[in-house]
Amino acid sequence: MDNSTLIKAAIAVTILLLITVLVLSFYTKKQSRNTVLLLGICDAGKTSLYTLLRFGEKRSTVSSMKENEGQLAISNKTFDVVDLPGHERVRYRYVDFLPVAQSIVFVIDSTTLNKQVRSVAEYLYDVLAKPQVQKNRIPVLVVCNKSDMITALPTEKIRLMLESEINRLRSTRTARVEQSEEDETEVFLGYEGEDFKFEHVDNELEFVSCSVENKDIEKVQDWIRN
């Protein structure tokens, strides 16, 4: 074989390799970000919402210790959906699913937020400040569930309560981050020197109310679909 044949063969092999890599990366990218994560503390209504989204019906639930996974069809589009348990010992395992997360639906019980604002804010803070959530600009929908109850707080009030709680948490958490800066585990949320506001977060972030009990989840379905 002369030199020019060798060069031609090398070029052909390189081009083939490049095409394979491109096709594979396109395919895996498309495949890998198709999952909607349902997060939130215990009793928020994640499994109830998951069941209603997937099967169009309400079923009685027990507190989850393991995630539920399945497919969801909303007007001709299919999504993978994962309902993660809210128990405090396992709720942070959601990070394992971030590589495949297309969006995050963060569920809150609007009737108990007065008592639980600290744990809800801690969890939401953790999610929003994750470098992977920030880098990939994963959209987050905060769902204020149980709006059928007379004791449910209005969405705007919930937003303000969480803003001020996250603001409080931020000062303590930032101090902790500065101690261990080399392994960046969380990003600073919002603007330095300014009170925290959800609008300071770069991700698409929205609040809606819903009631799984009354099968009133249209806003959630619309958001997931778009």
Ligand X SMILES: Nc1nc2c(ncn2[C@@H]2O[C@H](COP(=O)(O)OP(=O)(O)OP(=O)(O)O)[C@@H](O)[C@H]2O)c(=O)[nH]1
**Binding footprint of ligand X on the chain (CB under 6 A):** 40, 42-48, 61, 63-64, 85-86, 145-146, 148-149, 211-213
Cβ atoms 196, 128 nearer than 8 A: no
End-to-end CA distance of the chain: 57
* Residue 45, marked binder: yes
Task: CB nearer to Mg ion: give 90 or 187.
Answer: 90
Closest CA to 109 of 59, 68, 48, 164: 48
In one letter, which amino acid is 106? F
Instruction: Please tell me the distance from the alpha carbon of residue 133 to that of residue 98, in angstroms, as a whole number.
Output: 7
From ligand X, Mg ion, none, which one binds at residue 213 (CB under 5 to 8 Å depending on kind)?
ligand X
From Mg ion, ligand X, none, which one binds at residue 45 (CB under 5 to 8 Å depending on kind)?
ligand X
Q: Which of residues 50-89 bind Mg ion (CB under 5 A)?
A: 64
Q: Nearest distance from residue 149's CB to ligand X, in Å?
A: 5
Q: Nearest distance from residue 156's CB to ligand X, in Å?
A: 19
Q: Which two tokens stand for residue 41?
A: 């503390």
Cβ atoms 121, 166 nearer than 8 A: yes
Q: Nearest distance from residue 55's CB to ligand X, in Å?
A: 13
Q: Which window, 45-53, 107-115, 160-168, 191-199, contacts Mg ion (CB under 5 A)? A: 45-53
Report the run of H or E that residue 77 belongs to, with start and end. Answer: strand 77-83
Q: Nearest distance from residue 83's CB to ligand X, in Å?
A: 7
Nearest residue to ligand X by CB is: 86
From Mg ion, ligand X, none, which one binds at residue 190 (CB under 5 to 8 Å depending on kind)?
none
Q: Is 47 in the site for Mg ion (CB under 5 A)?
A: yes
Q: Nearest distance from residue 196's CB to Mg ion, in Å?
A: 29
* Residue 47, marked binder: yes
- Alpha carbon separation from 132 to 12, 26, 98, 108, 138 (Å, rounded): 37, 20, 7, 22, 8
* Residue 193, marked binder: no
Task: CB nearer to Mg ion: give 46 or 130.
Answer: 46
Closest CA to 36 of 85, 75, 76, 69: 69
Length of the chain: 226
Instruction: Please tell me the distance from the alpha carbon of residue 68 to that of residue 50, in angstroms, as a whole number.
Output: 8
**Interface with Mg ion (CB under 5 A):** 46-47, 64
Residue stretches of the annotated binding site for Mg(2+)? 47, 64
